[in-house]
Structure 1
Amino acid sequence: MSSIVFIGGGNMASCIVGGMIARGFEAEDITATAPSESSQERLKSRFGISATDDNRSAVAHADIVVLAVKPQIMRKVAMDLASALKADAVVISVAAGISINSLQLWLGNSTAIVRAMPNTPSLVLSGATGLFANELTSQSHKDSVDQIFNAVGYCCWVESEEQINAVIAVSGSGPAYFFRILEIMQAVGQELGLSEEIARNLVSQTALGAAQMAKVSDSSPAQLRQEVTSPGGTTERALSTFQQDGLEAIFRRAMTSASQRAEEMSKDFSD
């Protein structure tokens, strides 16, 4: 098994590590770095992995290095690691807005680099991850990356780095959209007389069931919607209200703005 090191042990790294452990990855093959002793102890106790505050020593023998730090400090972290990496290691960045050109500049032009955009449902093995690699990334590297992200859900390779911004808008930020929808539906359910517990359970189970139907069905989401919309019924009335209030336009503006922000961040953090 490959030796895997996560630089940064925050929320996204924890989601991925947790999913990997649940899927049978050996804890002894995984190391995470974190600046504080309390964070290191949390990672050790929660996942049984190794943890340290020494990034350079951690990556010295790593086959796969996952950069899971905030974009604002990525340049400093990457440049500090560059000379410590194994020659045949592959580096995966899960930071939004950091281009491969910038990463190559900081890590070295001979480094195999993959940009990954996972999302937090990776923690419950239901993540969605878009991937893009530079030309130095071998098929063997890609297979190893696939193993990590397939272990925590669905992953796909996009055709161009620009499409990573679309991935960010669709699935990277997507869980928050659905959480907001669930939040609203639960609140309205309570206003209509349901208890908090019942409203939450009904909304969560409905979302889960609808997502599962969309995933396994040969029908498109539009067809599934039409199948449950009886003429003159309650569903038709609700959907008509969505249409009148411009729901589709709201989503289009929101997702486009997320993609645009990812592009802005790429320029902000370029060197």
Structure 2
Amino acid sequence: MSQTPTFPDLKDCSVFITGGGSGIGAEITRAFVKQGARVAFVQRSDGSAFCDDVARETGNRPLFIKCDITDSTAIRTAIAQATDAHGPVNVLVNNAANDQRHETLDVTDDDWNRLIDVNLKAYFIAAQAVIPGMQAAGGGTIINFTSISYMMGNAGYPLYVTANSGINGMTRALAREFGPDKIRVNALAPGWVMTQKQLDMWVTPEAIEGQLARQCLKETLGPEDITGGVLFLASNASRMMTGQAMVIDGGVVTTG
């Protein structure tokens, strides 16, 4: 039995996802496609083979647009292209991020600009680009991926933690500003999700043991564990929820 919930109101929605061809983003793309949504996604690497796989699996092909999200003009152009193909964006998922490890005393101006551009500025630019279409359509939904890293005050990637804290502030500011336009803006904070990148670069038996000790639920998270929350935030099931941060981490941090 599929664990993916069904939200009928997402059928035929125009959805735009950053970083939608790998890791968590690929599962998000696949989940929206299965809902019958019209999905466009961007990333720097070629996503054509992934689109082929999704089309074979579902009969619904996502639109891949090659884009470096640190290039503001490229983001705006990609959103315009998606709008031409699928209509004004109803759901924006700002998912792409770079959690490259780094040390505070080693950070240069170039490091700051590069990591803040991808982890924070790109989110703002994408939201700015879709909001006029959402206003004209009478509403829409923006989902900003953040991380529990800022809640935990994790060391080892201070610019990533800084950006994720900023994402939550931006989420609240946009929710307040555009709530009168029926545009909902929420953040989603995953815990440590076992994507292929994480497995290749940072996962060790000792690290997993330590992570599970912190979690209430003693199972590792996979990308598929995040998609239900994304679909819920995108759908009318959460129609009166905005300016919030949803945590899916197996019970590491607590909110409220």
User: TM-score, normalised on structure 2?
Assistant: 0.45
User: TM-score, normalised on structure 1?
Assistant: 0.43
> By percentage of residues, which structure has more helix?
1
Specify the structure having the higher radius of gyration (Cα). 1
